[in-house]
Chain A
Amino acid sequence: MFSKRTLVSETGEVKNHNQKYPYRLNFYNIPPIEEITTEEFEVFALDRLQVLKAIESASLRSKTELQVADHIRDISNQYLPLHSTEGAKNYPLEEERRKDHISHFILRLAYCRTEELRKWFIKQECALFRIRFIEENKEERQAFLNNERLYWNDLTQNEKESMKNELSQANPHIKFNDETFFIVNFEQVPDLVARRAVYIKAGKAYVPISEQVTLVVVEFRKRLSAALDLASRAFPSIDDERILPLLNNINQQYLGKAYVFNNDTIVDKVTADNVDQMVGHFPLCMMHMHRKLRELHHLKHYARMQYSLFLKGIGLTVEEALIFWRKSFSSITDEKFQKEYAYNIRHNYGMEGKRQDYLPLNCNSIIMHKQPGPGEQHGCPFKHFSEDNLKVFLTQTGVKKDEHLKAILDIVKGKHYQVACTKYFEITKCLEDSISRGDGERHLMETITHPNSYFKQSVTLSKINNSQNSK
């Protein structure tokens, strides 16, 4: 295992490390064996965490791939610089790669504990690896892959010619003649299959070399998830009072602002009867579902889940929830309601099945998961409404000025749904003017990330207004 090319400076030290870390990319197969201080331990871990969190928030903002890559490069240069072998003269490659290596393994330890943590960690690490792989130049990449012994079967020239039509139809953006195709099982490239970005025949996917990164990331993910499983089994044997608290502290950092569900909500008492009076404080998604519920006297499963958990979040108790839904489903007989829906509602409150106390869904999961199908009303209006419908809906719910309407729709076109929601909040609660006036108190501090926080802010705001008016 050695690098043939002598790209490195003359000093022996760098050369040494070039043998330890010959490439910028790393599959993290071998754990680091050296001593580090606890301070370094913590710093390394937190720095890498910053990068991973940046990746997460960038993907939540639904930026384009290019924007995300730019953003990450900035953040990564700040916290966790990692340069290609070309930059050997300007940067301490050895240091950078060591830090990358060690920090990965620290986080691996911190994030192996639960399924949820593992999932989050794998997702962000894969994204980071993907960005780095794309950035890397062709020779480095190939050398890295050779080193890792990653090969795939090529399509021969004859076969390629015989499938010319299909291959170029499936990949319209490539230059067919220069492209090499790999043959893999379709299970290996699920995201290409899902996007219909690859030609499939008889269970084999024909992946163009331009999508090679997908194959590499799949491999990366496979190894990482196996390694995490291993780590989680080994974790209980760690008994080190110096690093245990550190590790515990690190994995608390994930998903920074999870909505904390507390019972002392700001509204006095929510009952089945006064939900209607509060609709004004609801974010658009919930308002839409409430309207549809009143109109159709029925909601489909995921809509019920999303709305019912939201109501739970604002303080509707299970008894009241049962009354609320019973009254709302007015066209359904008592018997049918008890049979088909009551279970579902109790389940949401953790009283049936595996008795999990579900939290209200946050914006991220509403936007990303469970895309509504035909006839389904759930989801985020900014994402799941067609433009005309959204326009109509916005107008109905208080966006009066055309300029405001246009501003929101522009944000939506940029795919920043949560920003659009925040904007909508500011417009309908007449915060726009106060912001321009510099009225700090009435300024909405951050982007909406949770329907319940929207509700909370809305209620607080109206309370402030009331008190000011009464003065």
Chain B
Amino acid sequence: MDSKEDEAATPELLSFFYSRFFPFKTYVNWLNYETDSNIILLLESNNAFKNRELSFTLASDAYIRYNSYNGEEDLKAEIMKMCPTKIDIGAIYTIKPKDKKSMRLSAFRPVEKELIFDIDMTDYDEIRTCCSGASICHKCWKFMTVAIKIIDVALREDFGFKHLLWVYSGRRGVHCWVCDENARKLSNESRAAIVSYLAVIKGGAQVRKKVQLNRTLHPFLRRSLRIIENYFEDIVLKDQDVLGSEENWSKVLNCIQDDEIIKKLSNKWNGSNSKSSVQKWEELVNELEHAASVSGRKLSKKAEQLQICKLEIMFQYTYPRLDEAVSKNMNHLLKGPFCVHPKTGRVCVPIQPDDCENFDPFEVPTVSSLYQELNLYIEGERKVQDYEKTSLKPYIKYFDNFVKGTSKEAREKNRERTFHTTSPVLKRRPQEIKKKNIAKKLSILEAEKASMPDPVVGIPTEFTKSLLRPLEIYKAATDPNATRYMNFFLDKKDEELLFETTPKKVAAEIEKSHKVEDEKVDDKFNNSTALIEEEKKAEILKSLVSLHNSNAKSIMMYNVKKTVEEFGRNENDTGSAEVQAAVLTVRILNLHEHIKNNHKDKHNYRGLRKLVHKRQKILKYLKRESLERYYTTIKKLGLDERVIEGEIVI
């Protein structure tokens, strides 16, 4: 009837479809359920996709179960290689399904799986008159519309599920994936309970009346009835014409538990084909009501039965027929969305439940139609994905959005969950933890920065403070109380000799000579005058050899001498590493003083840097030689490992 009917999917077309259209990325995201949040990684390993069973049916009809993949690329490569005609999605197991054989069987069990529903048109064969078996038409597809409406609203409102993905199975049915977290974690028992709650039609081929209702309808049945009432006349009476031929209407009458009514109606309808199904239905309803009101006085139970009978027939002819075995077991497989049905070539596209009336299974894109569409597409300016060039675009977009919705919820759930765990550390929200950590890190960095000595001058220590600085010395020259330092390495002994002993000695000798030449003692020329004279000379000499009258170089030499004395390991040690470093430090400090006042002196600035690096080099050597000496030295010099070992910026 339709040109698209029966375009079997050839392997070439399939491989074309997988390479150009199949939404691998969204697929993997979907089955992963957003478990990538950092905190969650700590709590549980992210196994959602890796431990998921995927099964393939190959073109040769071989069936490969228990495949599992690490990610998108892995999966894509395998699918491209095998080119399966059908991809089934199974449960998430305790271990990777592909490792199943290497493990004990008891360790391998399903832990999570979407709650799934399968509604197949073949189950409607006993009530539909238009087609049978695998074939469908627009008339009987309406049953599916009703089924989607009833099941969808029940799952959402009664059970509180939010993420329902309805998918056309490619030929004659629909699937429903309930992807909420609590739905995925349902036990088999709860699954069976939900199915039994939703299943109204019960009984095998040998039971004619498959619906038994109570007098008071459960709220769920009441709501389903409201939906059924909207469609019953249209689908069952007009389209299917179930009261048309005798074969069909006798099936309906068999549901009535009253032989008289059956006889009466079958007599009435036999032979006359003029009446439409709608008219016959009216007669049937009238008859039931009449009988109920008559028998109502005598047998109330019978009356109840007859009253409810009308509803039971309506349910039997319109209510969705679920394939219960599919939903009951967690490890049941179901064909995934966006597969290609091997017989019809149609893509298993999602159906929007609120727009399911307008879904037409015959308008669904097929592989060959996609191929043509892609060929006919005229490249625009913007570069677009292949699927966007074809009629597959809205379906893929819908699927993308659906997956975004589930992962958003999963993310929020994860956040909540960390809030509920018992560990007080995990109780805080991750952002708060992060913020605090960053603040902590910054404060540590700052403290480190603050404690970092200047690579050139270091931290002032006793040693560096004890060094003489030319400017200070010159300034102190006028200050009589300031300590005097002697130039030319004069020590205390020399000082005594020069300024105490020598003047006295000289004065005494002058006196002596005066006495020898001139026996008469000049009164004016007494002992003390010579001494004063000599002392004046000494004073002049003292200021001459004093450091504050020396040049900067002398002060420098003075400093160096002191340093060598301080750091030398023995008297003769003038060249050990610590002495070298210390002397360099003296030179550096001196030069630094100069650079501070003469910042344009680039030449000496370079010299300073050279000195600093040389000191660094020497200290590094010292560290290799002896840690103890190294640490005592750098401590005395006011330096830090960080300015010795690391890169230094001056």
Contact = CB atoms under 8 A, between A and B. Distances in A.
Which one of B204, B217, B220 has the highest number of Cβ atoms from chain A below 10 Å of its Cβ?
Answer: B204
Interface stretch (A12-20, A374-382, A399-407): A374-382
A4 interface: no
Interface of B: 61, 105, 122-126, 157-161, 182, 186-187, 189-190, 192-194, 196-197, 201-210, 214-222, 254, 321, 323-325
Contact of B123 (A201, A354, A373, A386): A373
Interface in A368-421: 370-379, 381, 384-386, 388-390, 393
A384 B204 contact: yes
Given A170-B218, A374-B203, A384-B207, 18 more contacts: A166-B219, A169-B217, A169-B218, A172-B216, A186-B193, A193-B190, A194-B196, A196-B218, A200-B158, A200-B197, A201-B158, A372-B204, A374-B125, A374-B126, A374-B204, A374-B205, A377-B206, A386-B203
A199 interface: yes
19 contacts: A166-B219, A169-B222, A186-B190, A187-B186, A191-B193, A194-B192, A194-B196, A196-B221, A200-B220, A204-B160, A373-B202, A373-B204, A374-B124, A374-B205, A374-B321, A375-B204, A377-B206, A384-B206, A389-B207
Given A169-B217, A196-B218, A372 B203 contact: yes
A370 B222 CA distance: 28
B217 A190 contact: no
Nearest to A190: B193
Contacts of A169: 216-219, 222
B207 A386 contact: yes
A344 B205 CA distance: 22
Contact of B203 (A195, A200, A384): A384
Contacts of B323: 373
A257 interface: no
B193 A194 contact: yes
B158 A377 contact: no
A445 interface: no
B61 A339 contact: yes
A166 B221 CA distance: 11
A352 to B, nearest CB: 11
Interface of A: 165-166, 169-170, 172, 186-187, 190-191, 193-196, 199-204, 288, 339, 354, 370-379, 381, 384-386, 388-390, 393
A120 to B, nearest CB: 16
B220 A196 contact: yes
A376 B158 CA distance: 30
A389 B209 CA distance: 11
Contacts of A376: 204-205
Given A172-B214, A375-B122, A385 B206 contact: yes
Could you tell me the dominant secondary structure of chain A's interface residues?
Answer: mixed
A179 to B, nearest CB: 15
Nearest to A169: B219
Contacts of B124: 374
Given A376-B205, A384-B206, A187 B190 contact: yes
B493 to A, nearest CB: 93
A201 B156 CA distance: 9
A193 B193 contact: yes
Could you tell me the dominant secondary structure of chain B's interface residues?
Answer: loop
A234 to B, nearest CB: 16
Contacts of A186: 159, 190, 193
Contacts of B161: 203
A388 B218 CA distance: 29
A166 B157 CA distance: 13
A193 B205 contact: no
Contacts of A195: 196
Contacts of A201: 157-158, 160
Contacts of B158: 200-203
B194 A193 contact: yes
Contacts of B217: 169
A276 B122 CA distance: 30
Nearest to B194: A193
A203 B182 contact: yes
Which one of A166, A370, A374 has the highest number of Cβ atoms from chain B below 10 Å of its Cβ?
Answer: A374
A191 B402 CA distance: 32
A196 B158 CA distance: 11
Contacts of B201: 374
A193 B197 contact: yes
Contacts of B126: 374-375
A190 B190 CA distance: 5
Contacts of B254: 388
Given A169-B222, A196-B218, A385-B207, A371 B202 contact: yes
Nearest to B127: A374
A166 B222 CA distance: 10
A200 B155 CA distance: 10
Which one of B122, B159, B210 has the highest number of Cβ atoms from chain A below 10 Å of its Cβ?
Answer: B159
A201 B159 CA distance: 6
Given A169-B216, A196-B220, A377 B204 contact: yes
B207 A375 contact: no
A377 B218 contact: no
A377 B205 contact: yes
A375 B203 contact: no
The 9 closest A-B pairs by CB, nearest first: A372-B204, A203-B160, A190-B193, A172-B216, A202-B160, A194-B196, A194-B193, A193-B193, A385-B206
A190 B189 contact: yes
A5 B378 CA distance: 89
Contact of A381 (B125, B206, B218): B206
B207 to A, nearest CB: 5
B192 A190 contact: yes
A402 B222 CA distance: 42
A386 B219 contact: no
A102 B435 CA distance: 58
A389 B208 CA distance: 9
A332 to B, nearest CB: 14
Contacts of B202: 371, 373
A172 B209 contact: no
Nearest to A376: B204
B190 A373 contact: no
A215 B207 CA distance: 34
B164 to A, nearest CB: 14
Contacts of A385: 206-207
Nearest to B156: A202
Nearest to B126: A374
B206 A389 contact: yes
A371 B182 CA distance: 27
Nearest to A371: B202
Given A172-B214, A373-B323, A203 B205 contact: no
Contacts of B215: 172
Given A190-B190, A190-B193, A194-B196, A372 B160 contact: no
Nearest to A193: B193
Contacts of B214: 172
A196 to B, nearest CB: 5
Contacts of A339: 61
B193 A374 contact: no
Contacts of A374: 123-126, 201, 203-205, 210, 321
A434 to B, nearest CB: 32
B289 to A, nearest CB: 22
A165 B190 CA distance: 26
B251 to A, nearest CB: 12
Contacts of A191: 193
B123 A194 contact: no
Which one of A202, A288, A378 has the highest number of Cβ atoms from chain B below 10 Å of its Cβ?
Answer: A202
Contacts of B205: 372, 374-377
Nearest to B204: A372
